[in-house]
Structure 1
Amino acid sequence: MLEALDAAEVRRWVAACAQSLDAHRAGIDRINVFPVADGDTGSNLLDTLRAALEALLRAPAEQRADAGAAVGVAARGALAGARGNSGVIASQVLRGMAEALRGRAVITGPDLARALRSGAERAGAAVSDPVPGTMLTVLDAAAAADGGPDLHGVAAAAAKAAAAALERTPDQLPALAEAGVVDAGGRGVVVLLDALVAVIAEQPAALVAAVRARATEPVGASLVTAREGGSELYAYEVMYLLRDIDDAAADGLRDELDHLGDCVSVVGDGDGLWTVHVHCNDIGAAIEAGIEAGRPTRIRVARFADAPASAPERFARDRAVVAAVRDADLAELLLAEGVAVLRSADPDPYALLEVITGTTAAHVTVLPGDAGLMAVADEAAIRAVAAGQDVVVVPCASPVQVLAAIAVHDPRRRAGDDVVAMAEAAAATRRGEVLIAAEDGITWVGPCRAQDVLGFADGEVVLIEPGPPEPAVLARAAIGVVERMLAAGGELVTALVGRDAPDGVAAAVAEHLRRERPDADLTVHRGGQREPVVIFGVE
C-alpha cells in the first residue's frame, strides 16, 4: 500500500485512468443521455485522459520532476486535448488538483484531500449553468468525503462517496430517471477514482477495471433514448482553443456563447491556454465570437446527427497476447501457442512496445515472464495506452503462471472476460523452484552453505538439501518441493526444466508422482533457463 504518490505514481494513475476508461467506455457511452443523448461521454473522457498521458510522456523530465508538477503537466495536456463537455470538466478537475499540489514533491493523504476539493471547485466554475445530478454532483460528494489522514483512506472514501452519489443521480435529473440510468459523466468520475484507489493499493488498475466493467455490463440491447429536452434545438458541437486572453475576455466570450446555444464552457489552464465548448446551430457565430476574443486554433465542429455509432477501426485485428521472456526454449513454447513474444535476456520497455504495437491488435494482454519483468511490461503498456491501444498487464511472478494464463486464453470470449480468466488462472497457479545456493546464508528453515540445493514454494525457502548438487540431491529437492506444494491441494503439475538440469530430475519427479500421487498429472517442458534448475507450477 503506497503512503504517498511521487511523480512516477502520478503518471501511473493517469495511465490507469486511460486504461480504466477504455474498459468502461462502451458502458458509459451507452448511458449518455444528459445534456445530449449523443453516446460519447465515455469516448470523450478517454480521449481527454489519453491526451493528459501523452503530455506526461512527452514532457521533459524537469517539467514533471515532482508530483505536483506532474499533475500540472497532465492538466495542461487534458485541456489541450479535451473532448466534449465531460472532457473539459475532467481537465478542470486536474487543473484544480495541480493548483493545490503546486510545489509538492509527493502527495500525502491530506494533500490528496485538499487537491480533490480544489478540483471539484474548478470543475464547478467551468460550467455556466450547473445542474444537480451530473458529474459535478459526484465530484462534490467525492471532495467532501472524510477518509482521515491516510492516503488510501482518502482515496477510498472519495471513491465510495462518489459511487453513492452516482446512484442518487436519477433522483435529481428527470432525464436520467426516465431512461433508467445513472449519469454518464458521474460514472466516469467513479472510474477515475477507482483507478486512483487501485494504484495506491498497488493493484493492476486495468485488471480491476475489466472485472468491474464485466460486472456492470447490462444484459440485452443497448439503450436508445431521445435527445434530452432543451438541447434538441442545437445540432452542432463547436470546440476550439484560445491563447493569451485575459479573464475579462473569457467572461465576455462565455456570455456571448450563452446567447448562441447551451453546454457552454470557457476554461483555462492558468497558463494562458483556454478551451471553448458550445452546442449551437450558428457555427460561424460561435467561431467569430472566438476571433473577437483572440485567435482560435484547433477548431473542431461535429454535427450530432452525423456522429458515428462507433469509432472507425484503426487496428487489423481484435486482440492479441504478448509475452516477455528471457529464455529461448520458453519463447519457442509460447510462439507455438500463437503468442507474440519478446525474447531477451534484458528486455526493455521500448522493445516490448514494438511487439505490442506490431500485433496491430485493438486489445493486447501482456504476460511478463517473471516478477522482474513487471516494471518493463507496465512501462510499455503505459506508452501503448497513450497511443490509443487497449493494453492490460496480467501479473505473473513465474513463467509457469504465464503458461497457466495461456492455457485458458479463449479469443472467442469478450476481451474483458478473457483477461479476467487469464488473471485468475495465473493467480491460482502456485509456483516452486529448485536452486543451487551461490553463497552461505540464513533462510526461514535454517542456515545454508554455498552449493546446497534450496527448494522454494511461492517465494519462500521450504527445504535445504546439503550439497554438492549431484543429480540425486537435485532430484530429492525437486520431489520435496512438489510434495509440499501438493499438500496444499492441486492436481496438475507443470515443470520447466532448466538448461543445465540433469536429465534424471524430471524423470525422478514423474516416477514419484506415479507411485505416491497417481491423482496428479505432470507436464514437463524444456524451459531453457540458466536458473532455477527446475520451476514447478501447481494448479
Structure 2
Amino acid sequence: MFPTLDAALLEHWAGTAVAELERHRAVIDEINVFPVADRDTGTNLLLTMRAAAAEPHPGGSVVAVADALARGALLGARGNSGVILSQVLRGLAEAVAAVDGPCAGAVLADALTRGARLAEKAVTRPQEGTVLTVLAAAADGAVATGSDRLDLVAAAAAGAAGTALRATPHQLPELARAGVVDAGGMGLVVVLDALVSLLPDIGDVVRKETAVVGGLAATGGTAARGPLATDLPAASDCGYEVMYLLDGCDDARADTLRVALDGLGDAAAVVGDGAPGGTGTWTVHVHCADIGAALEAGMAAGRPHGVRVMPLVDRGREVFPRARAVLAVVFGPQVAALAREVGADVLVRDCPLPGDLPADVDEARLVGALAGTAARHVALVTGDGALAFAAERAAAAARRAGQEVVVVPTASVVAGLAALAVHDPGRHAADDVVAMTEAAAGTRSGVLRIADAAALTWAGPCVPGDVLGLVDGEVVLIAPDLPVGALWLASRMLTAGGELVTVLLGDGVDDALAEGLVAELRRSHPEVDVVVHRGARPGHPVELGVE
C-alpha cells in the first residue's frame, strides 16, 4: 500500500521541516547574499515554518491541517523567503481542497505547481537563480512523473529542486561572486527533503541521491547562464525591511500596492490567503528607505497591522575580496590546465564542431563568470573572435555591478595562450593588460582541417580527405596528409618572421607528427622555439600559433 498525503503525514512533515530547518539554519543564514546579504534567510524560513506548524487546526482533517499550515505561514511569514514559503503551503491547501478523496502524488504535483504560480505572482521582479527557480523546477519534476504515487512524485520534486539549486550560481552574479547557492532555494530543498525522508522504502535512497544541503552551500562555480540581476537597487539604498499584515484588501488593490512598493525599493511581495473580495488577510514585504511611504501605500490598499521593521545590515564578506584576476575562456580540459598553470581563472566551453556557432557562451554566462572571480579588476581573455561582441557587453554589465573589466582582444585559442603566457600578477594591472594585448596581437594563427567534400578554395580545388591549411579562416594550402600539412603551414606562417611556434594537437593525432614537425623546424628555422601541447578543438587536428 503506497502512502497518501493525509492529515497525520502533513503534521509530521511540518514538524520534520521545522527540525531540519533548525539544523540547517546557520548554514542557510551564512550563504544568504541575495537580494541583500543580511544573513537571515535560514532564520526567516524557520520562524515561518514554526508559525505554520503551530497554527491550530480544529477538526483534524487533511483539509483542515493544510489550511492551518497555509494560514500560519502567511501570518507568521518572515522575510521574502518566508513569504515564498507561505505560498508553497497555500498551494498545498488549495490542491488538497480541490480533491474529493485520498490525496497522493498528483495532489503534491498540483500543490507545487500552484505554489510556484502564486509565488511568482507575489513578487514584483522575479529573478532566475532564486528560490522561485528552484520551486518551479520542483513543480516541473513532480508533474513530469505522470504518477500518483506520492513517494515517486516527492522524490522527483526533491531531485529536480536539488538540480536547480546546483545551477543557481550560474544564474545570479551575486551567487557566483560569493561562491554559494541560493539560500532560499536551499531552504526549500530542506523542506522537500523532509517529506521524502518520511516516506517508506524510498526515503533513505532519495536522501542519499538528493543530499545537496550538506555539500552545495558553497559551490566555487564561475560559469553563468540566464537573466542577470544587475539592475536591482543596492541594498544600502534600501535601509529597512518592512513587513505588515493587511486587511480589507482585494486582488486589484494588491496589484496596485505591489507597483507602489516596487517604486519605493526592492524585494516587494504582496500575498493573500485566497479569501474572496476584501475578507482575507494579506502579508506585505518590501526593502526600502522610506518606512512611512511603505505604510502609506498599505493604508491606501487596506488596513495595515502587525508592522515589523528591521534594518538591513550587510554582514557579508567584501564584495570583491580579490584585487585582480585574469579570466580565460577556453575549450577543453587541456587548454584549461594550461591557463590555470599561469594563474588564470577559467571558464571552460563546450567544444563545437567546425562551423558551429559559439552558442555555449553568451553575455549572461560571461557576466556570471566575471562575478565568480570575486576580483575587482578582471582581464577577460576569450580566445575566440566570435565572442568579441558578447565579451564587450558582458564587460559593460560587470562594470555596472562595480567590477573593472578589460577585454583583451584574442581572435584564436593560440592568441589567447600567447596573452596568458606574458601575464604577470606582479605587474601593474594596466601594464599587464597592455602586455597581454600586444602578445595576442603579435600572434598569427593557423589550423589544419580535413576536407569532407569537394570544393573550390583559394588554394585550388580540393577533394574529400585532403588536408586544408587555413590562416585567419582562409584556405592557403592543400596538403596530402597531416604531417606534410603541418610543416607546410608552419613554414608559410614563418615567412613573415617569428620566434616561437605553438602547436596544439587534437586528441586523435599521434605524437609522432609533433616530433617530426619539431625536428624539421629546428633544421629549417633553428632560431625558432617550438612548444607542443594537446588541446586542439574537435575538427582541428592541428592548431598553430606563430609569435
Normalising by structure 1, what TM-score?
0.51
Residues 133 and 298 of structure 1, relative CA distance in 2, 3 Å threshold: same
Q: Answer whether contact 1:24 1:213 (CA < 8 A) is retained.
A: no
Q: Answer whether contact 2:165 2:185 (CA < 8 A) is retained.
A: yes
Counterpart CA distance in 1 for 2:260 and 2:301 is 10
Per the TM alignment, residue 89 of structure 1 is displaced from its structure 2 partner at its CA by 0.5
Query: What residue identity is the alignment partner of 1:238?
Result: V
**Pairs within 5 Å for 1:180-329:** 180-201=179-200, 215-216=214-215, 230-271=234-275, 272-305=280-313
Asked if 1:120 is matched to 2:119, the reply is: no
Q: Deviations over 1:351-390 (max 9, x none)?
A: xxxxxxxxxxxxxxxxxxxxxxxxxxxxxxxxxxxxxxxx
Q: Answer whether contact 1:94 1:119 (CA < 8 A) is retained.
A: yes
Partner residue in 2 for 1:78: 73
Per the TM alignment, residue 233 of structure 1 is displaced from its structure 2 partner at its CA by 0.9
Counterpart CA distance in 2 for 1:68 and 1:122 is 19
Per the TM alignment, residue 3 of structure 1 is displaced from its structure 2 partner at its CA by 1.9
* Equivalent residue for 1:89, pick from 70, 77, 84: 84
Per the TM alignment, residue 202 of structure 1 is displaced from its structure 2 partner at its CA by 7.8
Sequence identity of aligned pairs in percent? 53
Counterpart CA distance in 1 for 2:98 and 2:172 is 39
Partner residue in 1 for 2:441: none
Q: Answer whether contact 2:37 2:314 (CA < 8 A) is retained.
A: no
Per the TM alignment, residue 149 of structure 1 is displaced from its structure 2 partner at its CA by 2.7
Structure 1 SS opposite 2:236: coil
Partner residue in 2 for 1:368: none
Counterpart CA distance in 2 for 1:217 and 1:112 is 25
Partner residue in 2 for 1:140: 136
Per the TM alignment, residue 99 of structure 1 is displaced from its structure 2 partner at its CA by 1.1
Q: Answer whether contact 2:31 2:217 (CA < 8 A) is retained.
A: no
Partner residue in 2 for 1:100: 95
Partner residue in 2 for 1:15: 15
Structure 2 SS opposite 1:232: helix
Query: What residue identity is the alignment partner of 2:308?
Result: R
Structure 1 SS opposite 2:237: coil
Q: Answer whether contact 1:47 1:82 (CA < 8 A) is retained.
A: yes
Residues 194 and 293 of structure 1, relative CA distance in 2, 3 Å threshold: same
Residues 76 and 15 of structure 1, relative CA distance in 2, 3 Å threshold: same
Q: Answer whether contact 1:2 1:200 (CA < 8 A) is retained.
A: no
Per the TM alignment, residue 250 of structure 1 is displaced from its structure 2 partner at its CA by 1.1
Q: Answer whether contact 1:110 1:151 (CA < 8 A) is retained.
A: yes
Structure 2 SS opposite 1:305: coil
Counterpart CA distance in 1 for 2:120 and 2:91 is 10
Name the Cα RMSD after superposition: 3.0
Counterpart CA distance in 2 for 1:67 and 1:10 is 7
Per the TM alignment, residue 231 of structure 1 is displaced from its structure 2 partner at its CA by 2.6
Per the TM alignment, residue 26 of structure 1 is displaced from its structure 2 partner at its CA by 0.7
Larger Rg: 2
Aligned length: 297
Q: Answer whether contact 1:152 1:197 (CA < 8 A) is retained.
A: yes
Structure 2 SS opposite 1:193: helix
Query: What residue identity is the alignment partner of 1:114?
Result: D
User: Which structure 2 segments of 5+ residues have no match?
Assistant: 219-231, 318-547
Residues 229 and 262 of structure 1, relative CA distance in 2, 3 Å threshold: closer
Query: What residue identity is the alignment partner of 1:180?
Result: G
Counterpart CA distance in 2 for 1:201 and 1:29 is 31
Partner residue in 1 for 2:27: 27
Per the TM alignment, residue 88 of structure 1 is displaced from its structure 2 partner at its CA by 0.1
Residues 308 and 301 of structure 1, relative CA distance in 2, 3 Å threshold: farther
**Pairs within 5 Å for 1:321-470:** none
Counterpart CA distance in 2 for 1:278 and 1:298 is 14
Per the TM alignment, residue 200 of structure 1 is displaced from its structure 2 partner at its CA by 2.0
Counterpart CA distance in 1 for 2:84 and 2:6 is 24
Counterpart CA distance in 2 for 1:217 and 1:197 is 19
Per the TM alignment, residue 163 of structure 1 is displaced from its structure 2 partner at its CA by 0.3
Structure 2 SS opposite 1:267: strand
Query: What residue identity is the alignment partner of 1:54?
Result: A
Q: Answer whether contact 1:117 1:140 (CA < 8 A) is retained.
A: yes
Partner residue in 1 for 2:57: 59
Counterpart CA distance in 1 for 2:140 and 2:203 is 27
Which of 15-24 and 288-297 deviates more?
288-297
Counterpart CA distance in 1 for 2:163 and 2:190 is 13
Per the TM alignment, residue 229 of structure 1 is displaced from its structure 2 partner at its CA by 6.6
Which of 193-202 and 8-17 deviates more?
193-202
Structure 2 SS opposite 1:259: helix
